[in-house]
Amino acid sequence: EIVLTQSPGTLSLSPGERATLSCRASQSVNSYLAWYQQKPGQAPRLLISDASNRATGIPARFSGSGSGTDFTLTISSLEPEDFAVYYCQQRNNWPITFGQGTRLEIK
Amino acid sequence: EVQLLESGGGLVQPGGSLRLSCAASGFTFSNFGLSWVRQAPGKGLEWVSAISTSGANTYYADSVKGQFTISRDNSKNTLFLQMDTLRVEDTAVYFCARVLSSYRAFDIWGQGTMVTVSS
């Protein structure tokens, strides 16, 4: 099973700042890496698929990069609605696995 | 509007069974693989199971293999999850999700249905 480790566990930033979230895989997942945003009481929302492809309707301030084992989700300038929990997910190998999440909180 | 709507959750005793349903609308159901993902209270996301477009191929997490059965009815645009021999640790919100090709991401999610296993 591929283990995804997200860092940091919690990120405290202010609106307007840049957020950089990391996801590291225990072995290569090529580019089969997705990112999700989840707000309390809501279902996750797909942000990025295939490491760097923004999903439909996702603002341009969200971007993904990386391949192999190291991936990054960047939010260029935080909006108030961006404070949430973010998960990465891989499907290079079965089983599909998720990272443990990064909580992005308002400083 | 593309939509997934889960139902069938509730309170069940340990060892009991439950069948979840997920009704789809707004897209050609038979063209997409589907999946179940769960989230225990206060915890992260855990993939549970997936099924191919025709239903011929199914996949399970080790934690539910032999215990849960995924299926679909393309004539009724509905996905199912039969959960047997339920354990306390199966308590979670269960989401159904549409998958992109090769199961590489989940692009549409339902709102979730809560399953509580408790005596």
Residue-wise pLDDT for A5-41, tens only, equals 999 999 999 999 999 999 999 999 999 999 999 999 9
> Are the beta carbons of A47 and A73 closer than 8 angstroms?
yes
Q: Which two tokens stand for residue B91?
A: 């308590």
**pLDDT score, position B101:** 85
CB contact under 8 A, A43 and B107: no
Q: How far is CA B20 from the centre of its chain?
A: 7
**pLDDT score, position B116:** 98
Phi, psi (degrees; rounded to nearest 5) at A65: -150, 165
CA distance B96 to B4: 7
pLDDT at position A59 over 90? yes
**pLDDT score, position B111:** 97
Interface check for B46 against chain A (CB to CB < 8 A): the answer is yes
Closest-CA residue of A relative to B112 is: A43
Q: What is the pLDDT of residues B10-64, one digit of tens each?
A: 999 999 999 999 999 999 999 999 999 999 999 999 999 999 999 999 999 999 9
CB-CB: which of A32, A44, A100 is closest to B104?
A: A32
Interface check for B62 against chain A (CB to CB < 8 A): the answer is yes
Q: What is the pLDDT of residues A70-82, one digit of tens each?
A: 999 999 999 999 9
- A56 CB neighbours in chain B (<8 A) are 107
- A50 CB neighbours in chain B (<8 A) are 104-105
CB contact under 8 A, A49 and B110: no
CA distance B92 to A101: 17
For residue A46, the distance in angstroms to the closest alpha carbon of chain B comes to: 6
Q: What is the pLDDT of residues B66-111, one digit of tens each?
A: 999 999 999 999 999 999 999 999 999 999 999 998 888 999 999 9
CB contact under 8 A, B47 and A96: yes
b/e code A14-32 from CB counts within 10 Å (16+ = b): eeeeebebbbbbeeebbbb
Mutate which: A91, A93, A97, A103, vs B, most B CBs within 10 A:
A91
Cα angle: B93, vertex A88, B8; to 5 degrees = 15
Interface check for B11 against chain A (CB to CB < 8 A): the answer is no
**pLDDT score, position B103:** 86
